[in-house]
Amino acid sequence: MNAKRPLIAVLTGAGISTDSGIPDYRGPQGLWRQDPTAQELVTIGPYRADPEVRRRAWRMRLETGARGARPNAGHLALADLERSGLPLRVLTQNVDGLHQEAGLTARKVLELHGNTREVQCLRCRVVGPMAEALARVEAGEPDPACRECGGILKPRTVMFGENLDPEVLGQADSIARACDVFLAVGTSLQVFPVAALPYAAVESGARLIILNAEATPYDEAADEVIREPISEALPVLVRRLVRELVPDRA
């Protein structure tokens, strides 16, 4: 590794937030395992075309528990990792904002799929607070429209069928290629282009550690694969990495 303190890149997926009450998509108890039609709710084509899909999507946003979610031990462990002094960047597929709420410096978190704190109109592109849109749903509007133009509102997230922001993806690729250690936490590593990031890291010589409940396509390429619950295993892993990589903590 470099003489300087090694850069750690952490790619997080839905699995890190399940202990905060936010269900994942593909896991054993995931939304799509329980209801395969739920994928429509986060796919731009059906969402744009079908008012009933949008009504279901708004109900899901009210009922999944995401609004009251709080950081769990996994999120807090990554905040501890930053406080250790090791250079850290978190690349997250999640849209819940829990990394920042746990104490991670906002500029060190790259939100690959946007966030659910805001909504955006598909027609006029105006942006507004998600809390206001959800309040309208609770008040009886099953599919709240844009107040500016009457267009369709969606979370300010990247839905399936939409492209990631190329600038954000480019930043993520640069971080993956520059890091010394790449952690993949709670992600199936099945959805491209984000799933290419571990390959970019390994190709550039990084150590790859995967912490996920189920097998991923990268397990054989990893230096270490951990199958234990994230909220239990990630704090242990962080403490071990700090002992290994911060000499004055040994």
Shared domain for 139 and 178, answered yes or no, is: no
- The predicted-structure confidence for 14-69, as pLDDT tens digits, reads as follows 999 999 888 765 555 555 555 667 788 889 999 999 999 999 999 988 886 566 78
Domain boundary (127, 157, 187) is at 157
| Domain with 121 in it | 23-64+116-157
Mean pLDDT of the chain: 91
Contact 122, 152 (CB under 8 A): yes
Same domain, yes or no: 75 and 59: no
- Residue 146 and residue 210 share a domain: no
Instruction: Please state, in angstroms and as integers, the Cα–Cα distance from residue 240 to each residue in 180, 245, 247, 249, following that order.
Output: 16, 9, 12, 10
The domain that contains 234 carries what CATH number? 3.40.50.1220
The answer on pLDDT for 118 being more than 80 is yes
Look up the CATH number of the domain holding residue 139.
3.30.1600.10
User: 84: which 2 tokens?
Assistant: 């250790």
Please tell me whether residues 225 and 199 are part of one structural domain.
yes
- Total count of domains within the chain: 2
Q: Could you tell me if 149 and 186 lie in one domain?
A: no
Give the pLDDT score at 22.
81
Q: Is 113 noted as a catalytic residue in this protein?
A: yes
What average pLDDT score do residues 100-121 get? 95
Residue keyed to tokens 């942006």 = 127
- Give the angle subtended at the CA of 179 by the CAs of 82 and 116, to the nearest 5°: 60
Mind listing the pLDDT tens digit for each residue in 195-234?
A: 999 999 999 999 999 999 999 999 999 999 999 999 999 9
Give yes or no for residue 1 having a pLDDT over 50.
no
The pTM of the full predicted model, rounded to 2 decimals, is 0.85
Pick the catalytic residue from 26, 113, 154, 156.
113
Query: Which residue, 20, 13, 45, is CA-closest to 159?
Result: 45
Specify whether 236 is located in the same domain as 133: no
